[in-house]
Structure 1
């Protein structure tokens, strides 16, 4: 596998870091360790913010005026005194839950607060009078009005003394209503009233006045309701009395016009008489019909014999005929008995026959009389029926007329009775309400009166200061976490592969600069931690291409100031211990290699050779102390990119490859100019530097991508100026593997 393929494989995104791989999991995962590291990183700033907020809060709290709270308790009575059973003239459901909630809202009402203000004359109290004077002296509203143009200013409103007083009352009422707190106790009829004020005596006075006015206002309302009910009853009684008098007069006038004295029992007598007449008329009608039937039976038998007439049932059943018939039967039985005993000429027989003949003669005579009396009986029955019919009709008309009179009479009587009953009911109620209206049981009572508070409830200075400190710490932690989230720099070696998706060659620790502005390099302190880091970097570069040595290396970075010249010089010194190494200052825009090597800034260098001013050997300086050869950049040319792109530079590089084992090019930043990319095309590999906790990862990503996108070989990334001790404090141990070892070695 060639070098190009290997580098592309190395810098390809690692599993879990590339787009589309584990992205959802990473977004949903909250790295608590990172949050803790961010807090530890800015701990002094967090503590400074917390102490500043605590100090400001403390100063502000100690300037506040203390506030006192006065509290009283009120209980609502569960039952109402039921002195008079009046139909709820003015009442509510005392056992209803809604009723108690309504009473608690009345306690909070503005109307009740206004009653308290007017009763106590609070608008004249010095406490509120002082606030009004302060508001007038501030003149905030008038100052705003004065800023308007003269034509837009409204004319001042002149208030009368009464209007000013009413305005003051309404203002104090709003203050009392807004400051009053009502807290009902669950599962009870008890409520606590409290009021806060900077004047403790005023707070207690207002609370007690509100409780008392709450009780008095309810009594007044109920008393006014009773008076209203009494007035209404009185007006209704006047109407009822007038209606009763009119109905009684109408009843009496009707009696006098009809000539009635008493109608009790008259209706029943008339009904009984009509019933009796109807019964008699029915009997007369039956008798007439019976007589008519008999008359029709005997009407054609005027010449009939006695025996034929005896066939008529009416004749046969006549009482006289039946009696004579009995006598005839007795005479016949006697004749028959004597005939068995005597002869026809016996005196007894003769006497018996004489009696029989007399009986027959009587029977024939009576039969004729009965027949002749049938017509007379029919006529009598008919007249009797007609007479009873006429009497019944007359009496019926009289009873009907009387019923109409009685109905009207009873109607008038009912109206009188109804008016009298209503009048009596209202009269009784009015008397009871009038007599007991002054007795009203309070619907609430004051359990505990408010005492003048001795200790303020706020401000709670200790709590305020503590909360300010806690909130300051929380705010500081939030800001620290936000800054850490916004900070896209690379702080640790582990983040190189995570954010840049490129291999890490090594991490160079941050060094303290001396008075001259330089730190001690590898050749000055070969046993230092920095020297060991350079040697580790050297080893990583060697191992990055074991099959083909990297003859030409380009050291570049994203932006200036990331330590390219220093790293290139120290790396060359480390490699110079084993090889013949040349360092070329290829950054001809901001050259710094000559100064770091102790050479004259105008020393002949790369720009001199490429421009043809000097020879190649004149531009190379051997530094025995460093163990390397150096070709500085020379004077700054007007066209650096044209010089390094020239054929003369390429030929010089080929000649130098024959003379030196390894050549290190100190290049310009790739994101500033394109010099680095041109130099990378001549090199065998590129060492990319990233300054720890300084270079944004997005810019470094674009720089690495530009190198890879130009098909230039990338050996890896070096994290420079890495503060291992700081990282160890913020991110835990493991970031300073050589510090303790070399420190103990040097001190020992």
Structure 2
């Protein structure tokens, strides 16, 4: 048993496959090209509007809570912080909140994109998927889950938000069949983003400002009470004084007790101010609102500890990470569906961020409460020291000292109130806190040309993709095709070269002249006849002892061209001056009678059945040296007749009377006639038709005819496409139009 070693395909093999299956390649290319053209003709033209916004640094405009006590406004200018801020704004632009606002403000539900379209796949999925609760009638989009989900899906599909690398600019693109609607969506979305940023910062500081306002109210009442007391004391009694004034013109009263009292008053004032500011931070932390604390991160109150400021910044960073993770999760859910395996991991990350935020808020709450308690205790201590000093002053100077103290306390209390009120108003807390840090660079404008379909790009993609898919299809078809196609296939199958290759021919047909149906007579200079002459020469030289005299021509199955080949081969042998007899041994479906235009006559079956004493051999008209023995009537037992001793004897006799005897036999696989005759002949020609004969069929027929290697079987590949490179590669030349000329008998 021979072991066949498969070799890797070479570039030449791939080129041959491409040439053999180029009809598949061109067919797929044409199909994809036509479908692309149809798509470009029928698809909706969609316009893309583009807008650009700039995300400015925090603190570049307006004032915030950091200005309450005159603190300098400044933002974190690190690249990481800037990138987080830009990415956060980009994720907010893609959020459902802004999308719903834009859809409702522009009435996009009536737009062509948002109207229901029948989708066969969606309809099929709805049939098997569980039905949810329907939307109530006449409600807003926010309260209609089904409508909201569909509208958000369409909106996010057409929206594209892309931060421009290395800048603080965000590019916003939107696709819509109406160019004006596309531009309106861009402008409305950017306006909603600016409003959302303003609302977020206002809400984050409003609660703190409200508490500070309450504190200012108490401080104002205390100041007014002190002023009234100063007036009463001044009216009731005189004031002990040094009789001099300071640089501001105020009357001075001095003693050691008064000096200590003044210091205690100053300490009490500082402690009170610190307690008020620490209380503002504590009040904000008690709400536990992460969004509000995130908004306070860039507006740290003076007096807050460095740890509190760091914690607030960390909350802001975690909130930004949470927003980015939520946007990524929603995008993955829309793009891949709820079964996407990474969704659980992403939800875990989101839960971890939320846990970190909760922990940090807890730490801020504890730290703020601790700072407030310390400030309160400090204030109490300062107040106690102040009260002791005041008591001593009362004892020392009674009404006069009391007057000075009360007047100073009233002035400082009034000054503190006016200073805090001024700072609060300057920061804009009472009037809206701070303007947005979003700047519109390029508004959305209605485009002049549609974005899709991009006909040149689509056609180029269709051609390239069609060619690639066509090549893949060609290689797939070639590997799945079990038929013999080329000379290489035949050589790989049998490990030997064929005796010859016959081209595919259009057979001439004539109802009046049977000779016109025979190619060796109708067109003796054709490629087919020339190839048959080469086969004749190779056949006569195939055996070293002597040329074969009895030649069996057969095939694996019907329709492979064996009868046409055997008849033309017999004519070529006869034209060489050799007495030739062609016998139609296909006793079931003989065709030589029709091909030669001979009426029904007795034939081989009648001779073998003993109904004819002499062989009913006929001379073929118009062809010297050629005789024919027809098949005759169809017998009930063709194989038995062909295996009979009579057949052997008659064939032995024909060998001595003729130079060549050609047997046109039945196919090998359907019946055993050819296998039986194969033992009586010198050589056998097995016809294998390109693109018709299957490899297992040809291989099985060859094994049956070889008789364990004791009989010569020549392979002939018939029906080769003349444009196939393997056809000319076998003959060793390309097509040059070299033929016999009727006008010129010169020898080249």
Range into which the TM-score falls when normalised by the shorter chain = 0.5 to 0.7
Paired residue for 1:440? 434
Within 2, Cα distance between the matches of 1:211 and 1:146? 36
Within 2, Cα distance between the matches of 1:666 and 1:94? 96
1:177-256 alignment, distance < 5 Å? 177-233=156-212
8 Å contact from structure 1 (residues 607, 636) kept in 2: yes
Which of 57, 71, 74 is the aligned partner of 1:78?
A: 57
Question: Is the partner of 1:741 in helix, strand or coil?
Answer: coil
The root-mean-square deviation of aligned C-alpha atoms, in Å, is 4.7
1:74 Cα deviation from its structure 2 partner? 0.9
2:541 is aligned with 1:543: yes
Q: Deviations over 1:57-97 (max 9, x none)?
A: 33432333332222221111124146653699x99956403
Question: Is the partner of 1:571 in helix, strand or coil?
Answer: helix
Question: Is the partner of 2:100 in helix, strand or coil?
Answer: helix
Q: 1:54 to 1:600 in 2, by over 3 A?
A: same
Within 1, Cα distance between the matches of 2:665 and 2:469? 44
1:668 Cα deviation from its structure 2 partner? 1.2
Within 2, Cα distance between the matches of 1:713 and 1:53? 52
Paired residue for 2:450? 456
1:171 Cα deviation from its structure 2 partner? 5.5
Within 1, Cα distance between the matches of 2:625 and 2:517? 18
Which of 616, 620, 629 is the aligned partner of 1:623?
A: 620
1:203 Cα deviation from its structure 2 partner? 2.0
Within 1, Cα distance between the matches of 2:211 and 2:711? 110
Which of 652, 655, 666 is the aligned partner of 2:653?
A: 655
Q: Deviations over 1:3-54 (max 9, x none)?
A: xxxxxxxxx97xxxx612xx2x425767232144135x42xx7556545544
Which of 5, 16, 19 is the aligned partner of 1:37?
A: 19
Paired residue for 1:393? none
Q: Deviations over 1:130-159 (max 9, x none)?
A: 6599649x79999999999xxx99999683
Within 1, Cα distance between the matches of 2:29 and 2:702? 41
Question: Is the partner of 1:556 in helix, strand or coil?
Answer: strand
Question: Is the partner of 2:496 in helix, strand or coil?
Answer: coil
Larger radius of gyration, structure 1 or 2?
Answer: 1
8 Å contact from structure 1 (residues 552, 665) kept in 2: yes
Normalising by structure 1, what TM-score? 0.63
1:685 Cα deviation from its structure 2 partner? 2.0
Paired residue for 2:225? none
Q: 1:35 to 1:663 in 2, by over 3 A?
A: closer
2:668 is aligned with 1:670: yes
1:187 Cα deviation from its structure 2 partner? 0.9
Paired residue for 2:634? 636
Paired residue for 1:128? 109
Paired residue for 1:255? none
Moved more, 521-530 or 447-456: 521-530
1:606 Cα deviation from its structure 2 partner? 1.6
Q: Deviations over 1:402-434 (max 9, x none)?
A: xxxxxxxx9974574699999999997687345
Q: Deviations over 1:264-320 (max 9, x none)?
A: 99xxxxxxxxxxxxxxxxxxxxxxxxxxxxxxxxxxxxxxxxxxxxxxxxxxxxxxx
Q: 1:174 to 1:91 in 2, by over 3 A?
A: farther
Within 1, Cα distance between the matches of 2:645 and 2:413? 133
Stretches of structure 2 that go unaligned for 5 or more consecutive residues are: 222-256, 261-377, 388-408
Paired residue for 2:87? 101
Q: Deviations over 1:637-673 (max 9, x none)?
A: 1111111122222232233333333322222111221
Q: Deviations over 1:503-536 (max 9, x none)?
A: 4222233443223275334356555544433332
8 Å contact from structure 1 (residues 500, 701) kept in 2: yes
8 Å contact from structure 1 (residues 37, 730) kept in 2: no
Question: Is the partner of 1:682 in helix, strand or coil?
Answer: coil
Question: Is the partner of 1:634 in helix, strand or coil?
Answer: coil
Question: Is the partner of 2:139 in helix, strand or coil?
Answer: helix
Normalising by structure 2, what TM-score? 0.63
8 Å contact from structure 1 (residues 492, 692) kept in 2: yes
Within 2, Cα distance between the matches of 1:146 and 1:698? 49
Question: Is the partner of 1:539 in helix, strand or coil?
Answer: helix
Paired residue for 1:595? 594
Within 2, Cα distance between the matches of 1:730 and 1:612? 47
2:490 is aligned with 1:496: yes
1:10-21 alignment, distance < 5 Å? 19-20=4-5
